[in-house]
Structure 1
């Protein structure tokens, strides 16, 4: 027996279209920034500018992945894809977080190499291109900030853009210091700091998306409290063989076996099931419930049973 607390699909569709449009604008802006910074980095000799361009290129890839995932997540389920593509955005978040960390490690390695051999850098070009990066990424950040608060995929795109905007600020400061004080080693230091910050930002998202993909119990759900609450319902003897997992941003699923005190009829079970569903939805934010009813069945009664 299963139950779903439905959402407004019409609104979700319109919201998905808006997310898609905002992502497309951000993709276009980042392609422009990347091209400009690659050329500028080569001409000026700035590793920080090239590292910012590399990060921007990863932004383009991550935004394209996010856009595709956003489109896929709206596709309907079918007989051979019973969940549809609801996990596409979680996979996108995982890939984007992983690329963020990989890019960061590459930047740190390059920065350490450049520390040993600092080079003179054309600071004027660095300053102007850093300003371009700040303006374009800042606009992109504002476009998708609202969606980032409620969607893991959009959060991964948002983090890429936010960290790149901050990297551009750092490159701008470095460009000013190089222009007026001739401190060229600051370029390598900024690259190193950008890399460390990227790892810091990417780790949490990588961890949370991994938890969802591995079907771990959501961190804010306490299974012992669920069992205690359900067993408190009259006629319920025992709750066992429980699985709780998060399918995507909107859906948390629970399946379990429930032992009943008496050999109740089907209409009585439906009444109790409705009580359980409402309890799980309002107290634990679980919106998909699948219960297997039992009476006097000889099976393992542990809360968690290894399948």
Structure 2
């Protein structure tokens, strides 16, 4: 549920230093793998490098977002700056999709005519990548327990470590048996895995930016709970969305009974307490209407046209 807020136990500066160290490690590894991949003729090594580069980009996004998200809301950004991470994540996942499709195409072309590949270079750089990916995963391991964003980075680096194992195996097979088709085959496998990660995770940022309701919150249950509050007759024009990754918000029109109308402040307090305690909704905007002057034929969701009471 969105009210299970995830906050790292590390102080912000310590967390920033860990993410910064992971960024530099992945940057150096990416450069080494690209150079090694070009010199050795290994497309699999280049594919793994691009995957590492995407993880480095994710780390940069997380690092910048950690900094910017601490800024308070102002006249320009009245909801605050937390959504910059979501926008950047969408850009990152879109780039991953493009990279994945390109690598599948290049791998398929090389399967037709496999080039010579320097197996030792592939094995050595694959081993270096495995060490760096493992270190990066360890740097973010304790942080990922309390942050959804950092957990995504941890899982990416863990998957990179597995991809590096595949690259090492491919290089060994080339050395032992001269199976040149293994390199482009592994490239396609890594690319398909990149596409799988991107396509399965891109829906979250899109849903949030589209002001969709929190995916792990039962919107109908929220409405039923508000309707059950003493003094409430009905609700309409309901908007339930995520202001930020872990911050759900609700605004709606609440129709009150005659008894509820006379104690409107008490009913409002009861609704807000319910939303906070049961659903973790700490931001709610409620517009109250008397039962005798409520909108007629108002839609339950959205802000469609209504007729006055």
Asked if residue 79 in structure 1 is aligned to residue 75 in structure 2, the reply is yes
Matches within 5 A, 1:18-29: 18-29=14-25
Correspondence for 2:271:
276
Asked if residue 70 in structure 1 is aligned to residue 66 in structure 2, the reply is yes
Alignment RMSD, CA only? 2.3
Comparing 209-218 with 13-22, which one deviates more in the overlay? 13-22
Asked if residue 201 in structure 1 is aligned to residue 201 in structure 2, the reply is no
Asked if residue 293 in structure 1 is aligned to residue 281 in structure 2, the reply is no
Q: Deviations over 1:150-203 (max 9, x none)?
A: 545434433442332222111001011111111111001000000111111121
Rounded to whole Å, the distance in 1 between the matches of 2:172 and 2:239 is 56
Correspondence for 2:303:
306
Asked if residue 222 in structure 1 is aligned to residue 218 in structure 2, the reply is yes
Q: Deviations over 1:239-295 (max 9, x none)?
A: 1110000111221000011111117568x3222222212222232232211111111
Rounded to whole Å, the distance in 2 between the matches of 1:272 and 1:306 is 23
Rounded to whole Å, the distance in 2 between the matches of 1:96 and 1:168 is 21
Rounded to whole Å, the distance in 2 between the matches of 1:212 and 1:185 is 42
Q: CA shift at 1:56, angstroms?
A: 2.2
| CA separation of 1:225 and 1:264: change in aligned 2, threshold 3 A | closer
| CA separation of 1:36 and 1:96: change in aligned 2, threshold 3 A | same
Unmatched 5+ residue regions in structure 2?
305-309
Rounded to whole Å, the distance in 1 between the matches of 2:302 and 2:120 is 65
Asked if residue 51 in structure 1 is aligned to residue 47 in structure 2, the reply is yes
**Secondary structure in 2 aligned to 1:247?**
strand
Correspondence for 2:108:
112
| CA separation of 1:155 and 1:297: change in aligned 2, threshold 3 A | farther
Q: Deviations over 1:21-77 (max 9, x none)?
A: 222111100111112112211221111111112222233333222211221111111
TM-score normalised by length of structure 1: 0.89
Matches within 5 A, 1:84-99: 84-99=80-95
Rounded to whole Å, the distance in 2 between the matches of 1:24 and 1:284 is 35
Count of residues paired in the alignment: 299
The partner residue of 1:35 within 31, 40, 64 is 31
The partner residue of 2:129 within 123, 133, 138 is 133
Unmatched 5+ residue regions in structure 1?
none
Correspondence for 1:163:
159
TM-score normalised by length of structure 2: 0.88
Rounded to whole Å, the distance in 2 between the matches of 1:253 and 1:85 is 16
Rounded to whole Å, the distance in 1 between the matches of 2:217 and 2:152 is 23
Rounded to whole Å, the distance in 2 between the matches of 1:123 and 1:211 is 44
| CA separation of 1:162 and 1:13: change in aligned 2, threshold 3 A | closer
